[in-house]
Amino acid sequence: MLALKNWDINLRSSEKKTLWSFLLLYAFLALLILAFVAFLYYDLERNLMLQNQKESLSNLTNEQISRLKSLHVNFEKEQTYPRDERFNSAIYDSSLKQIFSTLHAKKVNLYEDIYLENGRIYFIKELESYYLGARYIVIEVPAPKRWDRKVYRKLLLYGGLIFGVLVVIGYFLLNLLLRPIRETIVLLDRFIKDTTHELNTPINAILSNIEMIELETLDSALAKKIKRMSIASKTISNLYDDLTYLVLSNHMGSHDESVDLKTLIEERIEYFALLLESKKITISTDLQENITLIIDRKKMAKLIDNILSNAIKYNTLQGSIYFSLSPEGIVIQDSGRGIEENQIHQVFERYTRFDRSVGGFGIGLNIVWTIAKEYSLHVKINSQANQGTCVKISW
């Protein structure tokens, strides 16, 4: 875990997408279960409240039945339906037809015993003798005020607590899910780190020895071979630099200074001259004078090297590269094989490679992105398959 943090490992977008999907699904399921439990609890509390009301409602119903009985006996003399300010009531015959009603509700569920609707309690009782033909009597009373406040408070409190616990469990689950991905990345990074250490000394030995050879004193065939060796060594050296940067970037301090970009670019083009020559790539430049940036020289060189190296590596034989420097930024355009449009958004991801016919680890543009991010530079890549790639660095 610590190593992951130190090495600033970024998850790929597809992995992030999977993790988000997992998180969303987990949260949805957790909420669904909580909602179900909350519904059951609310239902239980509501039934409890209704049961508590039942006895008093039954007494009120008996009172009303007595009045109905009296009305039934004297119906030819008196036809006024008995009313009570404590409740509303209605009577229904055996075919569930309403005989009379003072209820607020237009429809009543006569199959229920007692229920709550729109803040009112409905109590239904079947009569033993059908006074006025009434088989069912319904009593309507307002539900006790704020009976559900306590229930909602409890639901929010316990629901929040349980959701919190589920979030913590989700976090551990997520870590379990991530472990294999992280382990793979750690393994790869460790391998690169170990390899890097072993590369350093031999590369330096080869390069310094090649530089000591005076090419003029050699015959052309041998000089050609030495040049090839020099190219190969520089390629390895470049790769070594990239890997070192990748592994140790977090521990490397920045020594920002005013860097003359034209000089630096020319230096880097000169560095790749042999490589350009070997692929017969023509490079044209349009570099304006006196453009400086306050930046770590080594990091800027690394940024240019990586873009230039890609432009050479993925270029066609006898292709071309156009390099321009203006006060707005740098543009490097190549005539290479380009990148598919749907893959452009992935180019900055570490270990992403679209063309395995040439060497590399897929870390070059990731390094470009990291450096650009550090110095707030904007990197834009336009590319078309088989047309070439244009990288713009603006500031």
Partner 1 sequence: MRENFMVKHILFLLVIGSICCAKQNVYEQNCLSCHKELAVKIDKFFYRYLLKYSSEVEVKKAMIAYLKNPKKDTSILQDGLIQRFGIKKRTTLTDEKLKESIDIYWDTYTVFGRLK
Least distance (Å) between residue 83 CB and partner 1: 10
- Considering only residues 5, 77, 80, 172, which one is a binding residue for partner 1 as defined by CB under 8 A? 80
Contact residues for 290 (Cβ-Cβ < 8 A; gap 6+): 260, 262
Question: Minimum Å distance from CB 68 to partner 1?
Answer: 10
**With binding defined as CB under 8 A, does residue 76 bind partner 1?**
yes
Is residue 72 part of the contact set for partner 1 (CB under 8 A)?
yes
Q: Which residues pair with 91 in a beta bridge?
A: 100, 137
One of 21, 70, 79, 288 touching partner 1 (CB under 8 A): 79
Q: What are the contacts of 50-59 at 24+ separation with CB within 8 A?
A: 50/114, 50/115, 50/116, 50/121, 53/114, 53/121, 53/123, 53/141, 53/144, 54/114, 54/123, 57/114, 57/121, 57/123, 57/139, 57/141, 58/123, 58/125
Of 185, 75, 49, 84, the residue nearest 132 (C-alpha): 75
Q: 132 or 232, CB closer to partner 1?
A: 132
Other Cβ atoms closer than 10 A to 9: 15
In angstroms, what is the minimal distance from the CB of 121 to partner 1? 24
Which residue number, 91 or 363, has a Cβ lying nearer to partner 1? 91
Per CB under 8 A, the segment of 131-139, 178-186, 209-217, 250-258 that binds partner 1 is: 131-139
Taking 3-state DSSP, the helix, strand and coil percentages for the chain, each rounded to the nearest 5, stand at 55, 20, 25
What is the number of other CB atoms lying within 10 angstroms of the CB of residue 298? 15
Q: Which two tokens stand for residue 212?
A: 């000591």
The site that binds partner 1 (CB under 8 A) totals a number of residues, namely 20
Identified binder of partner 1 from the candidate list 94, 175, 195, 200, rule CB under 8 A: 94
**DSSP for 246-263?**
HHHGGGPPP-EEEEEHHH
* 133 part of the interface to partner 1, by CB under 8 A: yes
Complex with partner 1: residue 129 or 204, whichever CB lies closer: 129
Residue found by looking up tokens 């519904």 in the block:
39
Near partner 1 by CB under 8 A: residue from 22, 41, 100, 158: 100
Q: Which of 77, 95, 221, 289 binds partner 1 (CB under 8 A)?
A: 95
Smallest distance from partner 1 to CB 149, Å:
39
Binding segment for partner 1 (CB under 8 A), chosen from 92-100, 103-111, 230-238, 380-388, is 92-100
Nearest to 241 by CA among 144, 327, 336, 309: 309
Closest CB to partner 1 among 62 and 284?
A: 62
Q: Quote the least distance from Cβ 94 to partner 1, whole Å.
A: 4
Q: Does 130 bind partner 1 (CB under 8 A)?
A: yes
127-142 burial: b if 16+ Cβ within 10 Å, else e = beebbbebbbbbbbbe
Q: Does 9 bind partner 1 (CB under 8 A)?
A: no
Q: Measured from the CB atom, is 77 or 145 closer to partner 1?
A: 77
Q: Which of 134, 301, 303, 332 binds partner 1 (CB under 8 A)?
A: 134
Tell me whether residue 98 or residue 346 sits nearer to partner 1 (CB atom): 98
Give the pair of three-digit tokens for residue 92: 């229904």
> Does 131 engage in binding with partner 1 (CB under 8 A)?
yes
Residues 6+ apart with CB under 8 A from 135: 92, 93, 94, 126, 127
- Smaller CB separation from partner 1, 80 or 217: 80
Q: Pattern of binders to partner 1 over 17-56, x per CB under 8 A?
A: ----------------------------------------
Q: Which is nearer to partner 1, 89 or 366 (CB)?
A: 89
Out of 53, 135, 203, 272, the residue judged to bind partner 1 by CB under 8 A: 135
CB 356 within 8 Å of CB 373: no
Q: Give the side-chain half-sphere CA count within 13 A for 44.
A: 9
Between CA 387 and CA 366 the distance in angstroms is: 23
Q: Does 77 bind partner 1 (CB under 8 A)?
A: no
CA–CA separation, 3 and 236 (whole Å): 26
Binding site for partner 1 (CB under 8 A): 72-73, 75-76, 79-81, 93-95, 97, 99-100, 129-135
